[in-house]
Amino acid sequence: MTRLLTSVSAQTSAELHDCIYRAFSVGAECVELRLDHLTEDVTPETLAGMLAELAPGTWVVTLRSAKEGGGAGASDGERLTWLHATGGGLGGWLDFEHRALSDQACAAAWEELRAAGLDRWILSYHDFSGRPTEVGSIAREIASAGDEVVSKVAWRGEGASDNLLAFELMRALGDRVIAVVMGEVGMASRVLAKKFGAAATYCALSEGGETAPGQPTLEEMLHRYRWGDLTAATKWYGVLGAPVSHSLSPALFNRIFDRAGIDAVYLPMLVGGGEAELVEFLGQCAQRPWLDVGGFSVTIPHKSAARRFVGSRIEPLAARIGAVNTLVMGDGHLHGYNTDYAGALDALCVGLGCERVDLRGLPVDVLGAGGVARAVVAGLNDCGCAVTVYRREADAAAAAELVDELGGQVALWEDLPRRSGRAVVNCTPLGMSPQVEDSPLPCDGLTDKPLVFDMVYNPVETRLLRDARAAGCPTVDGVDMFVRQAAAQYRLWFGDPPDVASMRSVVLEALGG
């Protein structure tokens, strides 16, 4: 069984006691007590009394050295003695650094403590500079020390593929190892530890209380990532991008998976090393069917790189757009799709009360010429709409290229007050938080009461939409677009259509609306 360790630290024993019981009240399975952050003069006997109140097997006690990311300044031998005097013989786990055992006297003292056979040990190895060259050998060497010893290796992640190395160690050593990729890039190594049968993984009691880089909170692990429901068969989905911490997709998909009873988890996957890192990660995923990758969402800045990665395994319209935002695993390969255009068309049809076939000949004004506009214009032209792209001076070249490749005509931004399309689609970030009073379209461009569709979803009601409603225009907000492109991804992954209304409620909740 993989233990979810909630790491707690405090400056006083009273605060530590409070943290322990707060963790268990929230739903923690096990706690790690970081004693190296205590600043008061407290005895091992006092702490041992605190540990004796806890059930055996539900705690780990750690006195981490400063050189391995902790706060304890005592010698290795002193720390070992203090650690054992605190938690020895009480039925928990004692965490001590593997490097300290290179000292002959310290190693002899540890072996003497082990000889009593009363304790279980976690021998830890940390590297905050990056991935150790021989991390696999280190993990195996520690695990070979005996049945009562668990190997813990933790290193600063250098790329998304570090997670796959951690999974390889978990598969090889099972409950004899804890393998942690530190930092935001390592979220998968923490959440999927249960899938791959590791001894444990770590989380923080609350936001701001992390004892190592990249720890999710206990609340996130239990509820967003559904720790209690993860199994060896859990399918892996996620969003690949940089940044991804702001993404609403993990909150959305994990809630929908839960409601649909799907054994799957959706993770934010930071891929910050450009196209080379993306290609390495996706290639390694495709070569490892045991990962149970179902698919990925792809966001900025990797949509074009994902299109190049899939090559000919791509839907025709996504190939024309030149961008992939959805990857689906099939036959040992990742296949590319674009649901941005599908989400936009579906949202537009709902707003107009029509089907896609009814869009033929509809004049539509598209504001902007970036990546989002490219997907929208491709979809509109595929449906036979008459598209006009309004571009700013800086977008002249992009707009010309867009209509040359996908169809339509270009108009100047200054001509917006004289626009005449039956629908207006804002594909610019104007009006996005925190510049919430910005709008791409002056009110005198709304006198003919077109349908106004704003791709911005934060805030949900933008200045453009407020002005449009005041002018009597029908409107479609960016949440609808976001939800419908996500619904299209869900259909690609699972075949069945999701409950769009339920998805919208989840997104609005995440946005605080």
Question: How do beta strands 3-9 and 475-476 pair?
Answer: unpaired
429-462 in b/e form (b: 16+ CB < 10 A) is ebbbeeeeeebbbeeebbeeebbbbbbbbbbbbb
- Of the chain, the end-to-end C-alpha distance in Å amounts to 39
Residue ranges of domains in the chain: 3-230, 240-338+484-510, 353-476
State the Cα–Cα distance between residues 63 and 338, nearest whole angstrom: 50
Order of all β-strands in the sheet with 264-270: 264-270, 235-241, 293-298, 326-330, 333-337
Check residue 476 and give its pLDDT.
97
Check residue 317 and give its pLDDT.
95
DSSP string of 231-264, one letter each residue: -TT-EEEEEEESS-TT-SHHHHHHHHHHHHT--E
Which is catalytic among the residues 152, 194, 195, 303?
303
State the Cα–Cα distance between residues 99 and 153, nearest whole angstrom: 11
Q: Partners of 196 in the beta sheet?
A: none
* 360 alpha carbon, distance to own chain's centre: 39
96 and 88 Cβ atoms separated by less than 8 Å? no
Check residue 512 and give its pLDDT.
84
State the Cα–Cα distance between residues 198 and 192, nearest whole angstrom: 9
Check residue 513 and give its pLDDT.
59
7 and 212 Cβ atoms separated by less than 8 Å? yes
Q: How many other C-beta atoms can be found within 10 angstroms of the C-beta atom of residue 108?
A: 12
* Pick from 446, 513, 443, 439: nearest CA to 482: 513
State the Cα–Cα distance between residues 305 and 337, nearest whole angstrom: 13
CATH entry 3.40.50.10860 includes domain 240-338+484-510: yes
Task: Give me the CATH topology for the region 353-476.
Answer: Rossmann fold (3.40.50)
Instruction: Write out the H or E segment, with its range, that includes residue 119.
Output: none
Written as tens digits, the pLDDT of the chain (513 aa) is 999 999 999 999 999 999 999 999 999 999 999 999 999 889 999 999 999 999 999 999 999 998 888 888 889 999 999 999 999 999 999 999 999 999 999 999 999 999 988 899 999 999 999 999 999 999 999 999 999 999 999 999 999 999 999 999 999 999 999 999 999 999 999 999 999 999 999 999 999 999 999 999 999 999 999 999 999 999 999 999 999 999 999 999 999 999 999 999 999 999 999 999 999 999 999 999 999 999 999 999 999 999 999 999 999 999 999 999 999 999 999 999 999 999 999 999 999 999 999 999 999 999 999 999 999 999 999 999 999 999 999 999 999 999 999 999 999 999 999 999 999 999 999 999 999 999 999 999 999 999 999 999 999 999 999 999 999 999 999 999 999 999 999 999 999 999 999 999 999 999 985
Check residue 221 and give its pLDDT.
98
Task: Give me the CATH topology for the region 3-230.
Answer: TIM Barrel (3.20.20)
422 and 362 Cβ atoms separated by less than 8 Å? yes
Q: What are phi and psi of 236, to 5 degrees?
A: -110, 120
Clarify whether 303 is annotated catalytic.
yes
State the Cα–Cα distance between residues 67 and 243, nearest whole angstrom: 30
CA dihedral sign of residues 20, 21, 23, 28: positive
Check residue 41 and give its pLDDT.
87
DSSP string of 334-391, one letter each residue: EEEE--HHHHHHHHHHHHHT--GGGGTT-EEEEE--SHHHHHHHHHHHHTT-EEEEEE
428 and 367 Cβ atoms separated by less than 8 Å? yes
State the Cα–Cα distance between residues 140 and 189, nearest whole angstrom: 18
240-338+484-510 and 353-476 share one fold: yes
- Which pTM value belongs to this model? 0.95
